């Protein structure tokens, strides 16, 4: 019994257990609402969140704000100057979907809200906007799920 208590009170074990629960919990979490995602795109909100996280660690508000501001602005510079993308699946577009436009996707799903809701539920990343440029990629996600978009943009199995 002492061995079990010794393992449970071990700081390294506790840290690993916390990390496991955080990662496991994040996989079980529901999809984030679209309104909340647009809020998180705001740089001021991002700076505030990072500042609070850093402040809880080091208790120095000025240092936390400086690091948060530098981090957010450096990420913006990387995104603008180097075309940095977290996910770049443009090369994985189904060939039959290359000419699909966003209005065709909206027609299939009735309106933009149903389109976006279905797309996000199928795993379309939140950094992919619903527009004509990304329509072939979004259509590819639907084809992978067995949804027919046009005569050429459909699953080869059907």
pLDDT digit string, tens, across residues 116-133: 888 888 888 888 888 988
Walk along the chain (158 residues) in steps of 10 and give the mean pLDDT of each run. 76 85 77 76 88 90 92 81 49 82 91 89 85 90 87 79
Residues 6+ apart with CB under 8 A from 122: 141, 142, 144, 145
pLDDT attached to residue 84 = 46
pLDDT attached to residue 154 = 85
Please tell me the pTM assigned to this model: 0.45
| In contact, 109 and 118? CB cutoff 8 Å | yes
pLDDT attached to residue 63 = 93
pLDDT attached to residue 91 = 55
pLDDT attached to residue 70 = 92
């Amino acid at each position: 019994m002492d061995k079990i208590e010794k393992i449970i009170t071990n700081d390294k074990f506790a840290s690993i257990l916390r990390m496991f629960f955080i990662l496991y919990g994040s996989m079980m979490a529901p999809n984030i609402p679209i309104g909340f995602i647009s809020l998180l795109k705001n740089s001021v909100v991002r700076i505030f969140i990072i500042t609070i996280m850093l402040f809880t660690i080091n208790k120095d508000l000025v240092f936390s704000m400086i690091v948060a501001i530098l981090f957010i602005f450096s990420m913006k510079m990387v995104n603008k100057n180097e075309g940095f993308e977290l996910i770049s699946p443009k090369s994985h577009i189904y060939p039959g979907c290359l000419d699909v436009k966003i209005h065709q996707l909206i027609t299939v799903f009735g309106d933009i809200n149903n389109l976006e809701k279905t797309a996000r539920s199928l795993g379309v990343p939140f950094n992919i906007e619903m527009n004509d440029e990304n329509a072939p990629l979004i259509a590819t996600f639907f084809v992978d799920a067995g949804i027919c978009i046009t005569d050429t943009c459909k699953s080869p199995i059907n």
